Amino acid sequence: MATIINGKELALSLKQRLAADVATFDAKYGRTPHLVVILVGEDAGSVSYVTGKAKASAEVGLRNTTIRKPDTITEAELLGIIDELNADSEVDGILVQLPLPKHIDSDKVISAISAEKDVDGFHPMNVARLWLKQECTLPCTPKGIIKLLKSAGVEIAGKNVVVIGRSNIVGLPVSKLLLNENATVTIAHSRTKDLADVTRRADILVVAIGRPKFVTADMVKEGAVVIDVGVNRDPETKKLCGDVDFAAVESKASAITPVPGGVGPMTICCLMENTVECFLRKMEKTNG
Ligand code: NAP
């Protein structure tokens, strides 16, 4: 039976540590870090993510403002709000909840956020800095995955890692972070031939595709570490499930993340950490 890598527990202890740091900031810097989340429209998934971010901010002691706008907002109006937040010296982090309505160009919106306040790590400047190995804000989910692996004592250097998925928010950046940790990384995707042959070579398998229970036991090497990023509804039970058939793969893997309670809580926790890091970088700059 695999060890269950408990993201909920790790996220809780990291948030407690962050909260202890944040509690000292008022005395040191005269205020606490301020995260502004912009929510456009009423999509149930987005509303629940934004609520989770506000709750985590409260747990860590961050100031959180949620700006809610109807999905009729124009791109120009949204860009105007971002300009104001960029100029506000008491705003440290800006996050626009994705997806945005179709009439708004998400790339344009993300690029409009100041790279110094881009707590998601999606701004082109932060993406470039990640690939150049320069100081930057790392995207939350990939950052959380590395923390999970390290906390579970998984050795990454020299290992064969297969990442299924090549999205800008998960697959590509987590591949780069794993490469930085000296893994030998293979990126698989929807055009990969003989996917099971590729995945069976993985010592560490990271799955970020968005298909319920897609990875079955025959695709996993005995003793592999499996990180399941997927968040899906099981078509039969309607319950949350990952991209990995947990019940079948658990008996073959040496360690595995559950869904829920694995990668998800770490993503929010890293968002909190990113907000604190943006705040501290700003304070260092202002205080010389
Ligand atoms: P995405 O942008 O839709 O990308 C999915 C990737 O999976 C693509 O690269 C796609 O390949 C690949 N793919 C799709 N079907 C495949 C198949 N049959 N075989 C091999 N590869 C396949 O998704 P994403 O944003 O990366 O998210 C992936 C999943 O992670 C979703 O369930 C999402 O909800 C979840 N997620 C969770 C968190 C968290 O915090 N837990 C955070 C972000 C995302 P192509 O490039 O060839 O199309």
Average pLDDT of the chain to the nearest whole number: 97
Q: What value does the mean pLDDT take over residues 53-82?
A: 98
User: Token digits for 80?
Assistant: 């105007």
Return the pLDDT at 287: 78
Q: Which atom of ligand 1 is nearest to the CA of 267?
A: 40
In the annotation, is 16 catalytic? no
The sign one gets for the Cα dihedral 7, 12, 17, 19 is positive
Q: Which atom of ligand 1 is nearest to the CA of 263?
A: 41
190: which residues sit within 8 A by CB, 6+ positions away? none
User: Token digits for 246?
Assistant: 């947990």
165-208 tens-digit pLDDT: 999 999 999 999 999 999 999 999 999 999 999 999 999 999 99
Among 15, 97, 159, 203, the active-site one is 97
- The secondary element (H helix, E strand) that includes residue 198 is helix 195-199
Residue 193, ligand 1, Cβ within 6 A: no
Q: Which atom of ligand 1 is nearest to the CA of 209?
A: 7
Residue 144, ligand 1, Cβ within 6 A: no
Query: For residue 265, with 0-12 CB atoms within 10 Å meaning exposed, 13-18 middle and 19 or more buried, which class applies?
Result: buried
Give the DSSP letter of residue 127.
H
Percent of the chain with pLDDT over 70: 100
Q: How confident is the model at residue 286 (pLDDT cuts 50, 70, 90)?
A: confident
Return the pLDDT at 1: 84
Residue 210, ligand 1, Cβ within 6 A: yes
Alpha helices in 61-116 (DSSP H): 75-87, 106-112
Rounded to an integer, what distance in angstroms lies between the CA atom of residue 288 and that of residue 285? Answer: 5
Taking the centre of ligand 1 as the mean of its atom positions, its distance from the CA of residue 168, in whole angstroms, is 10
CA-nearest residue, atom 34 of ligand 1: 231
Peptide bond just before 99 cis, omega within 30 deg? yes
| Beta-carbon count within 10 A of 245 CB | 18
Rounded to an integer, what distance in angstroms lies between the CA atom of residue 286 and that of residue 135? Answer: 18
CA-nearest residue, atom 2 of ligand 1: 167
Return the pLDDT at 288: 67
Among 92, 118, 120, 243, the active-site one is 120
